[in-house]
Chain A
Amino acid sequence: MAHYYQPDIETMPREELRALQLERMRESMRNAYENVGVFRERFDAAGVTPEDLTCLEDLARFPFVVKQDMRDAYPFGMFARPNAEVARIHASSGTTGQATVVGHTAADLANWADCFARGIAMVGGSADSTIQVSYGYGLFTGGLGAHAGGEAMGCTVIPTSSGNTKRQVQMMRDLGTDILACTPSYALLIADTAIELGYDPATEFPISAVICGAEPASQNMKDEIAEKLGVQYCDVYGLSEIMGPGVAMECAEGGGIHVAEDQFYCEVVDPETLEVLPDGQWGELVITTLARECCPLVRYRTRDVTRIVDEPCACGRTHRKIDYLRGRTDDMLIIRGVNVFPSQIEQVITEFPEIAAQYQIILTSNGPLDRVELQVETVPDFPFDEVRKLEDLKRRLAAELKGNLQVAVEIKIVEPKTIERSMGKAKRVVDLREGTNR
């Protein structure tokens, strides 16, 4: 028996949902056009007004916005509401440039909490559940987003934030955490720390689910987390420009992540031509907000690579899924002219049980050529005393990577803990190439 948080919305018949989307999209566009300068300029330049939207497909006639537009509008240029109506401000991590600031009205925050609470229901959570939020709290949307979702559901919320991993394990055990919300790399670190402390969290801890997002994770890494903690893995998608975690969440059926389609309209476009692609084709995800009051966005290019999965889901939810993210168009590494996503490398690594999950990619210049070094660690019980076995492992891993990426990768096996364990977003790629400014 499936369990919903807002059954009327989550299982709304498709036609009804599409009608709701169109109605809300028009309203959201008016809000953007009338109150945000950049949208008025762009719409006028493109010769379109919100009145031109007669069906959802008409959206393709409207211009895109990108992250740079939000940076240029710093701090309040994207706000459609006066300060008196703004309840909270979040900002992106700014790791790739000027921070982007996003405002939320009280209604925006309530909608966000509802979106995340739907995911809590997807992992079987209820008011009776205890949710431990080990995302960082602060300007980053992870902590407070998951926190509000837990409160909306009526859960007991433990706001541990990230860090102090041994205490995280102790809280998880002593307070009987049912659901852990954090980045996947941190979930793995917590699991490994629990195991190092002598516990078997899969059997000894009551935890039954993790809700993980904010950084890419391969299927193997998700499986490893699910196995070590003995939990259902729920992939949560979100981005601070759009809202935060909860834009899309994964139900127990898997096969992708359900977009909160009453709140967001998704298109997938070809990142080169910007043409809208048919369902099922991989491309860049473009999101239009349908109910955001303070910072409405029309056709925001997320840079995230996915596809729309338009198949009915056995869980009963009618909201369509997007596929698990394959990477970001701007995380994409161009190595010797070949497009490589770090997630592809991670996928290969996790197919080698001899190799631990942590890794780092070091890019350097070797004259005109790019040199790629992949640093990995063996698992503790690997027979590393035999040089031959280590060399053989390197050879097999290099061959597998070459086959998958079409790029030669040098493998370096390093001592444990050489690769920094992450408490937030893992730094997987160190680009030291000349002429790059990553």
Chain B
Amino acid sequence: MVGLIFGSIPGLTFSMALALMLPFTFGMQTTPALGLLLGVYVGGMTGGSVSAILLGIPGTPSAAATVFDGYPMARKGEASVALGAAVIASTFGGLFSLVVMMLLLEQVAAVAIKFGPAEIFALVLFGLSTICGMAERSMLRGLIAGTLGLMLMIIGLDELDGVARLTFGTVQMQQGVNLLVAMIGLFAVPQIISTFMHYGRIEPFKMPADVRARLPSFRQLKDRLWLMVRCSGIGTGIGAIPGTGGPIAAFLAYDHARRFDRTPENYGKGELSGVVAPESANNAVTGGTMIPLLSLGIPGDPATAVILGGLLVHGLYPGPMLFRTHLELIYALYVSIVLAYVVILVVQLWGIRIFVKVLSVPPHVLAVCIIVLCGLGSYAIRNSIFDVYLMAVMGLFGYILQRVRIPVAPIVLGLVLGETLEKQYRTALIMTEGDYAVFYTSGVALFFFGLTALTIGLQLRSSLRRRPAVE
């Protein structure tokens, strides 16, 4: 429900919901804690379509492609059909990706168990290379953000030597910059400032009269079953590649649906396939992202980075050993995702009329509520007032970065992966007494170095092509 609410409210991201919810899992057992996080993730991905269809404003970036045909359908009086189809397509995509995840996870993990420090370093470097993809428009700015994230990670006690790094004698700083505190500040505070800025300047949401979710006809769904399968495949594949995520999958699926439809001219005017395709694809991403996350410990997007943080907080280290030491948790995770989709299907189909009233809460009132949640969420992580101050500083930092067009997602990636990157690099060299050959004599390491170079090369080419002509 929390994910659904955050996902459906424009401007509130489910990454923020995950970051705010994570402290609440500290007192829970591991399985319900995982269930809560995955429920928020799945709910957030699904909820984005509600405001996309009803208001023409995507609740999440992943729902942006749903606007093209969902909103015209709502304007034609078919809001309920679009909402119903979106919910069913989302559930189908999510469950499809779950099956693929169950089939592939152990195979990937079996290979990953043979990895040593050099291979893990190369792999994490590949994970970091996705920074280039996370930087929406400028690769250079993405790299700056990633470097800043790695610098923040440096602060605190060095794990290998036990040396305090840049703590300036303060005890609180020895624990370093907490990932969650940083994320709450970076994601939530700039949004609060933006909402305060626009207070009184934007019109409040107007609720459409028909907000009931009604199932589309069996024939409508049957005609689009093969489309849902294809788009779910696209979503799962895209999700398994770190640094891609829901928006890319949704747009690719939308483009695919239009390209192979007999009546492409209907797209953009309220075509049901234009809702089904992106919704099945963006929800299929949820299972796809779990493949590199659980088998290799690489988060594909900011939301899965928070989930990774949650796993670490509960003492679970994603990777091959997870399947040997905590197999029961892997099964619990599968069940959690299925349950989340079933609950969301029921909630959205039966409760949308009440639920969308949250959309009518004035954004500035929500922003004030979020200030309080930010403070309490930061405090709850370590019961430390210092973390509340740190969250405020990180929030200001995030706002300044936003002003200079530096994306914050790579900072999170730097914070999440930086520690492993440094530790494995140094461990590999300590084990070989400083022999750098360890990095280029391993076939696996070379493979990941090659992938890293390929990712950067492709992003660089795409970035250069996107550059606007300068007068």
Q: Do A and B actually bind?
A: no
Which B residues are within 8 Å of any A CB, using their own CB?
Answer: none
